[in-house]
Amino acid sequence: MRTIALMNLKGGVAKTTTTVNVAAILARDHEKRVLVVDADSQCNATEFLADDDLQSGTLADLLRDEDIRIKRYVVPTKLDNVDLLPGSEELMDLDLTKVETSDVRVSHLQELVSGFERLGQYDFCLIDCPPAFSAASAAALLAANEVLIPIKLDAFSLRGMTNLLCQIDNMRAINPALRLLGCLPTMWYPCARTIQAERTLLLYDLPVLHHIRRTDKVDDMTYAQRPLIESSPRSAAAVDYRAFVRQLLRGGASDG
């Protein structure tokens, strides 16, 4: 099972958009079984994917429970072959600085993921991280074997990269298996500045993956609550997400 944390300390860079669309494409086009973990207290992935009468434990419960029973936390979604470990507002209360003294166990997500791996239940686990380094993101980086960095190509995001890479590097001390899959430029549009910014990214010595073009169809998708391959299958972003998923299935190398 490939467990991928989608991480950026900035909000609004398409972490959630990427999580739900990649999950949908893996499941529908490639018949993969996918678990989405919503690690953000804003719960956008949960709202997007979950059926209305959501009844299960959440990631916050998992990180606080004494003992974990893996079936308790995962629910089916509107999408075939995509299950969800929901987020909740309570994730906001799980302060990383208090982890040492509180009963929050960041390793519980790793234990859950390992349990599913032993059962052979999923091919992919995608973790939608919050835009901050919190207990939930620490849990994500501990559970993951790969990190994907969705990035919007503006100067603020580029400046945030050094800090982000530093945080990920710190996590390698406790999870040496963690591999950087690369940066995924999102909301891409053709102009000299964007193309220059993509070149700047290469200086970080990370693979720069298949960029996702900017299109209003993505905002439409958030209202339609259906992934792009259903709501706007011919849109530029749907085409690009499909190309990115093919790249991901080839291992994620920078092969265009």
Ligand X SMILES: Nc1ncnc2c1ncn2[C@@H]1O[C@H](COP(=O)(O)OP(=O)(O)O)[C@@H](O)[C@H]1O
Q: Which residues bind ligand X (CB under 6 A)?
A: 11-17, 44, 131, 186-187, 212, 214-215, 218-219, 222, 237
The three-state DSSP-derived secondary structure of the chain is CEEEEECCCCCCCCHHHHHHHHHHHHHHHHCCCEEEEECCCCCHHHHHHCCCCCCCCCHHHHHHCCCCCHHHCCEECCCCCEEEECCCHHHHHCCHHHCCCCCCCCHHHHHHHHHHHHHCCCCEEEEECCCCCCHHHHHHHHHCCEEEEEEECCHHHHHHHHHHHHHHHHHCCCCCCCEEEEEEEECECCCHHHHHHHHHHHCCCCCECCCCECCCHHHHHHHHCCCHHHHCCCCHHHHHHHHHHHHHHCCCCCCC
- Judged by beta carbon, residue 6 or residue 35, the one nearer ligand X is 6
- Judged by beta carbon, residue 64 or residue 214, the one nearer ligand X is 214
Instruction: Please say whether the beta carbons of 145 and 176 come within 8 A.
Output: no
Instruction: Please say whether the beta carbons of 31 and 24 come within 8 A.
Output: no
Smallest distance from the beta carbon of 65 to Mg ion, in angstroms? 24
Residue 111 token pair: 């234990």
- Judged by beta carbon, residue 130 or residue 252, the one nearer Mg ion is 130
**Would you give the binding string for Mg ion spanning residues 42-61, x where CB under 5 A is met?**
--x-----------------
Among ligand X, Mg ion, none, the one that 186 touches (CB under a kind-dependent 5 to 8 A) is ligand X
Stretch of residues binding Mg ion (CB under 5 A), selected from 13-21, 89-97, 111-119, 162-170: 13-21
User: Is residue 134 near Mg ion by the rule CB under 5 A?
Assistant: no
**CA dihedral sign of residues 91, 96, 102, 107:** positive
Smallest distance from the beta carbon of 125 to Mg ion, in angstroms? 17
Residue closest to Mg ion when measured from CB atoms? 16
Instruction: For residue 183, list its beta bridge partners.
Output: 149, 208
Among ligand X, Mg ion, none, the one that 247 touches (CB under a kind-dependent 5 to 8 A) is none
Smallest distance from the beta carbon of 54 to ligand X, in angstroms? 19
Smallest distance from the beta carbon of 115 to Mg ion, in angstroms? 26
Among 8, 16, 41, 58, binds Mg ion (CB under 5 A): 16
Among Mg ion, ligand X, none, the one that 81 touches (CB under a kind-dependent 5 to 8 A) is none
Smallest distance from the beta carbon of 115 to ligand X, in angstroms? 27
- Judged by beta carbon, residue 41 or residue 110, the one nearer Mg ion is 41
- Judged by beta carbon, residue 114 or residue 222, the one nearer Mg ion is 222
Smallest distance from the beta carbon of 155 to ligand X, in angstroms? 17
- Judged by beta carbon, residue 64 or residue 88, the one nearer ligand X is 88
How far apart CA 226 and CA 167 sit, in angstroms, is 33
Residues binding Mg ion (CB under 5 A): 15-16, 44
